[in-house]
Structure 1
Amino acid sequence: MKKLASTAIVVSLLSLIGMAASVAQPMMGPGWGGGPGMMGRGGPGMMWQGRGYCGGGAGTMAAWRLERIERLVRLTPEQRPAFEKLRTAMQAASDNAGTACAAEFPRTAPERLEFMEKRMAAMLTNMSEVRTAFQSFYDTLTNEQKVRIDQSWPGRGWRYN
């Protein structure tokens, strides 16, 4: 039984080390992949092939999502201030995205892991601020509007709504 437990621990540790090494590999070089996105015309496919957060795509994605929300919900004048606060939070998150991005991609594996950790922390902070603003906006919606929003998110045919 001890041998089985020891083997399981060793296999788990080796797997973890292997995953960390693969995550620390450099991103795809220039010229890799198809057009501007798997869904064409810079669509949201595959995180825009790595350009989404650090490549300036965050602002485009935020504008796209806000336009869709506005079209789906058909805002009332009373809901407009909360929606504008959401727009401001999403714009601030988009602007802040660049602060977590290196001017030059780190060359060593430890530097890449540190870079990814900082980028993830910035993404988490930005998401928390956007989520708070979105919750305030969502609370102003009628039940019918909430259903429209809820059914438009990924997993419910969001590309076609």
Structure 2
Amino acid sequence: MRILVSNDDGYQAEGIKQLTQTLSEIAEVVVVAPNENKSAASSSLTIGKPLEPIQIDENVFAIDATPSDCVHLALCGFLKKSIDLVVTGINFGANLGDDVIYSGTVAGAIEGRFLGLPSIAISLTGWKCEHFETAAIIAKRLVEKIEKAPLSHNTIINVNV
């Protein structure tokens, strides 16, 4: 399985690093994320300037763009291999209720769904950086279940830990 990982906290955020490390135990992971924090970007798109991915590591790319831009460019642009699943997060802060309207993390998952892939958004419900590892393990278990019983292409799962 090939997983596209993105977020709204930026490619250097603790949450995306933990998520990538844990999911890499069971899948091939490619990270395409904003180059800096883009929290509450919702589904906004960047206009009026070129969006150029910068390769940070073998499977890590940063873009001066929103989470929706990052997922869109990855799936419709520069990635050569196909992706099976989009996972966004781990967001620092909950995405519950009205929060999902503004969330860049959820918006990245929505963009994946728009482009025909099942998607998962993972967020922490607290404001302490204590449980990224727990959230990553939950994401890994969810992906393992999805491998056995694939989701429909128009599915988004929003998980808050």
By the TM > 0.5 criterion, same fold?
A: no
TM superposition score category, shorter chain reference: under 0.3
- The answer to which structure has the higher strand fraction is 2
Q: TM-score, normalised by structure 2?
A: 0.26
Higher RCO, 1 or 2 (CA under 8 Å, sep at least 6)? 2
- The answer to which structure has the higher helix fraction is 1
